[in-house]
């Protein structure tokens, strides 16, 4: 989704902005632009297409002079991707440049009003309204104009503003869309994502909703919506810049798949002490947990799929009802939530707007919120009553892999810790499950060591135009994720079904040559699943089976090819099974020549509803 970077200091701004934009490319975008103020005044270059095209245009102009500027990558919402709709947008008098992430909901009404005063708009975007409104309110004090404009607009925004009348400062403002400020010797930066500025500083702070910041080379002031000063806490970003680089892999996605043993190890090890799971971060008493009426899991996309697996795990361990809701549906379904409901919110980015809005709704209805988040200091983390971070490190590929795996590991930790506190697990079962969890990183390494076999099978099956993933119970939850991985990066049609559900309609689509990926690692339902596999096989499907090593022979008798993972505790099966599914999707997409790290139409962090 859109990205923002801003710089004010004593060096040339343009190269810093372009490099920052390159680091934001992974978020997904369709156009890009920069505005720099210098001896040539306010210079704006923007274009549809890649950062490289923008950099070439800047070069053709002989560069942009000036040590203050803003950059933006746009993911089109209002108005098609085009040069004119790209940001920065500049007010009619050419003196105020704006970059914006989010959506201005009442833009049409404001545009109509401004047009009635004689303002001419050049783009179709909601963002241009902000630039024009700022000019309308500007009477010599840009901060005043910003507060007036912000009181008038509705919607979500992270804004970067540069006014030619005060060219020593950038203004930033945020509501529901992330924005960070970075501090350095003789410079300040702003960005929608730390990856854009980590090269320059690790000393950052996160703007909160309603806050406005004013940045010069040497000073940074933060205010609330009424311009009252606000003290901000600085945070240190401690991951290495190499974590956001490919490190010899062809794609970030492959690198991140291969990092899963480490990511899972980093996530679980600090939370296991003396044979027990210790979640120091949480303050939920055993009484509170025992009295829960329900756990409501809220998430989107792959995080939702983790929620689907979590339902099986948590219901089994805690003996409490667990409901899983798509965040975009939760808000509008009149959910039954009480003070005894725990909302478990799952999000890699911590900024997905649907999930954030659902979190707020759950809180409003009285639930306490526990979140599982990867990005430290993100909105979801900050607004939760308790947060368990997944220590996956930065995830750059749009298709999530290591964040998914670490989210699952945190679910298992929660299951163990809560079950013990609630008295719903015996000592022996607890010890077995914990030992299996600690062994996961090693088993993940083993699964990854077979990636050439998966590459070979991808080369056999990559040309099937339509793929069904079937499985029961936890196998079904993994099938959902396997199917999403495949379709999002290879653009093949794919669906996931609970294996027993197929015969209620969808089986009519199975014919000679359809590829079915059958997940059959779940022992308690193994025979039932295999009956469903026989049903598709006898209708002509090509079947790729996935199971645990001890069941390989039984599966192999029915299917065309079999992939295996080592046996683990049955509740941890998804952690191992998902890896061959990720690799299969990766290699199929590779064989189709797809842009794996930046699939079409997708964005890493979805900050619009
Ligand atoms: C798919 C994927 C998305 C995200 C979804 C939620 O590979 O990454 O489906 O899982 O957009 O994002 P987060 O977890 O950041 O809330």
| Nearest ligand 1 atom, CA 349 | 15
428 pLDDT higher than 90: yes
How remote is the CA of residue 428 from the centroid of ligand 1, in Å? 36
475 pLDDT higher than 90: yes
- The mean of the pLDDT values for the chain is 94
Q: Helix or strand or coil: residue 212? A: strand
Write the CB contacts of 187 (distance below 8 Å, at least 6 apart in sequence).
7, 8, 9, 10, 11, 200, 217
Structure tokens, 425: 């697990």
Q: What is the mean pLDDT of residues 307-317?
A: 98
Q: What is the mean pLDDT of residues 507-527?
A: 94
* Dist CA 32 CA 72 (whole Å): 5
| Nearest ligand 1 atom, CA 375 | 15
Whole-Å CA distances, 207 to 49, 152, 358, 539, 548: 30, 20, 21, 57, 47
pLDDT tens-digit series, residues 516-525: 999 999 999 9
205 tagged catalytic = no
Say if CB 96 and CB 130 are below 8 A apart.
no
Q: What are phi and psi of 348, to 5 degrees?
A: -65, -55
Reported pTM: 0.81
How remote is the CA of residue 371 from the centroid of ligand 1, in Å? 15
Say if CB 588 and CB 492 are below 8 A apart.
yes
Which of 26, 193, 257, 301 should be mutated for ligand 1, with most atoms under 8 A from CB? Answer: 301
Structure tokens, 149: 């404009």
What is the DSSP pairing of strand 203-206 with strand 235-236? antiparallel
**Which residue is closest in CA terms to ligand 1's atom 5?**
301
Say if CB 12 and CB 65 are below 8 A apart.
yes
Which domains can be identified in the chain, with CATH numbers? 3-238 (3.60.20.10), 245-448 (3.40.50.10490), 451-591 (3.40.50.10490)
pLDDT at 458: 94
Active-site residue, from 2, 300, 522, 594: 2
pLDDT tens-digit series, residues 169-218: 999 999 988 899 999 999 999 999 888 888 899 999 999 999 999 999 99
Write the CB contacts of 472 (distance below 8 Å, at least 6 apart in sequence).
498, 499, 500, 522, 525, 528, 529, 532
| Nearest ligand 1 atom, CA 299 | 16
**Which residue is closest in CA terms to ligand 1's atom 10?**
302
For 292-367, strand residue ranges (E) read 294-299, 322-326, 341-347
2 tagged catalytic = yes
pLDDT tens-digit series, residues 57-82: 999 999 999 999 999 999 888 888 88
Is cis: bond before 88, omega within 30 of 0? yes
Say if CB 311 and CB 321 are below 8 A apart.
no
Q: What is the mean pLDDT of residues 583-599?
A: 92
502 pLDDT higher than 70: yes
Q: What is the mean pLDDT of residues 488-496?
A: 95
pLDDT at 242: 67
How remote is the CA of residue 440 from the centroid of ligand 1, in Å? 23
For 232-284, strand residue ranges (E) read 235-236, 272-273, 276-277
Number of alpha carbons in the 13 Å side-chain half-sphere of residue 549: 9
pLDDT at 26: 77
How remote is the CA of residue 108 from the centroid of ligand 1, in Å? 30
Greater pLDDT, 55 or 597: 55
Say if CB 373 and CB 390 are below 8 A apart.
yes
Q: What are phi and psi of 276, to 5 degrees?
A: -140, 150
Whole-Å CA distances, 416 to 313, 420, 509, 572: 10, 6, 41, 12
How remote is the CA of residue 488 from the centroid of ligand 1, in Å? 11
Q: Which residues line ligand 1 (CB under 6 A)?
A: 300-303, 347-349, 352, 355, 399-400, 484, 488, 605-606
Burial class of residue 281 in the structure, from the number of CB atoms within 10 Å of its CB (0-12 exposed, 13-18 middle, 19+ buried): exposed
| Nearest ligand 1 atom, CA 352 | 16
* Dist CA 283 CA 280 (whole Å): 8
């Amino acid at each position: 989704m859109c990205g923002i970077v801003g710089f004010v200091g004593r060096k040339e701004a343009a190269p810093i902005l372009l490099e920052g934009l390159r680091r934001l490319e992974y978020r997904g975008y369709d156009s890009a632009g920069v505005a720099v103020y210098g001896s040539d005044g306010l210079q704006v270059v923007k274009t549809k297409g890649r950062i490289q095209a923008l950099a070439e245009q800047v070069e053709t102009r002989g560069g942009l002079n000036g040590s203050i500027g803003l950059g933006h990558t746009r993911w089109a919402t209002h108005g098609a991707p085009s040069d004119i709709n790209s940001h920065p947008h500049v007010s009619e008098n050419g003196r105020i440049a704006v970059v914006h992430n989010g959506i201005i909901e009442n833009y049409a009404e404001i545009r109509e009003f401004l047009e009635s005063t004689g303002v001419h708009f050049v783009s179709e975007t909601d963002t241009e309204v902000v630039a024009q409104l700022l000019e309308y309110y500007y009477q010599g004090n840009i901060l005043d104009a910003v507060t007036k404009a912000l009181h008038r607009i509705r919607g979500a925004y992270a804004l970067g503003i540069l006014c030619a009348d005060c060219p020593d400062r950038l203004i930033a403002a945020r509501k529901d869309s992330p924005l960070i400020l970075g501090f350095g010797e003789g410079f300040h930066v702003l960005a929608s994502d730390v990856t854009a500025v980590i090269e320059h500083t690790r000393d950052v702070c996160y703007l909160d909703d309603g806050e406005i910041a004013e940045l010069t080379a040497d000073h940074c002031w933060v205010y609330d919506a009424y311009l009252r000063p606000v003290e901000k806490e600085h945070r240190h970003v401690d991951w290495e810049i190499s974590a956001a680089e490919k490190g010899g892999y062809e794609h970030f996605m492959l690198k991140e798949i291969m990092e899963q043993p480490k990511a899972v190890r980093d996530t679980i090890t600090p939370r296991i002490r003396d044979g027990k799971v210790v979640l120091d971060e949480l303050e939920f008493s055993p009484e509170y947990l025992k009295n829960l009426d329900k756990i409501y899991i809220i998430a989107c996309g792959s995080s939702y799929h983790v929620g689907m697996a979590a339902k099986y795990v948590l219901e089994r361990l805690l003996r409490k009802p667990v409901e899983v809701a798509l965040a975009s549906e939760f808000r509008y379904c009149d959910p039954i939530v009480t003070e005894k409901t725990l909302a478990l919110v799952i999000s890699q980015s911590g900024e997905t707007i649907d999930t954030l809005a659902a979190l707020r709704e759950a809180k409003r209805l009285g639930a306490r919120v526990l979140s599982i988040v990867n990005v430290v200091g993100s909105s979801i983390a900050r607004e939760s009553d308790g947060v368990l971070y997944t220590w996956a490190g930065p995830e750059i590929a749009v298709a999530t892999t290591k964040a998914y795996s670490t989210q699952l590991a945190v679910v298992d930790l929660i299951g163990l810790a809560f079950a013990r506190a609630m008295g719903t697990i015996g000592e022996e079962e607890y010890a077995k499950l914990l030992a299996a969890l600690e062994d996961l990183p090693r088993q993940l390494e083993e699964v990854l060591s077979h990636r050439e076999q998966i590459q070979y099978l991808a080369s056999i099956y990559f040309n099937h135009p339509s793929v069904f993933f079937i499985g029961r119970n936890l196998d079904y939850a993994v099938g959902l994720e396997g199917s999403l991985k495949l379709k999002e990066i290879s653009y093949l049609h794919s669906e996931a079904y609970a294996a027993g559900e197929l015969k209620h309609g969808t089986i009519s689509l199975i014919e000679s040559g359809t590829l079915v990926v059958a997940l059959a690692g779940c022992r308690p339902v193994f025979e039932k699943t295999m009956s469903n596999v026989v049903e598709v096989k006898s209708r002509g499907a090509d079947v790729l089976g996935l199971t645990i090593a001890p069941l390989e022979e039984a599966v192999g008798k029915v299917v065309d090819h079999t992939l295996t993972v080592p046996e683990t505790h049955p509740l941890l099966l998804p952690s191992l099974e998902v890896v061959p599914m990720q690799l299969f999707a990766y290699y199929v997409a590779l064989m189709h020549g797809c842009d794996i790290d930046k699939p079409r139409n997708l964005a890493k962090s979805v900050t619009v509803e």
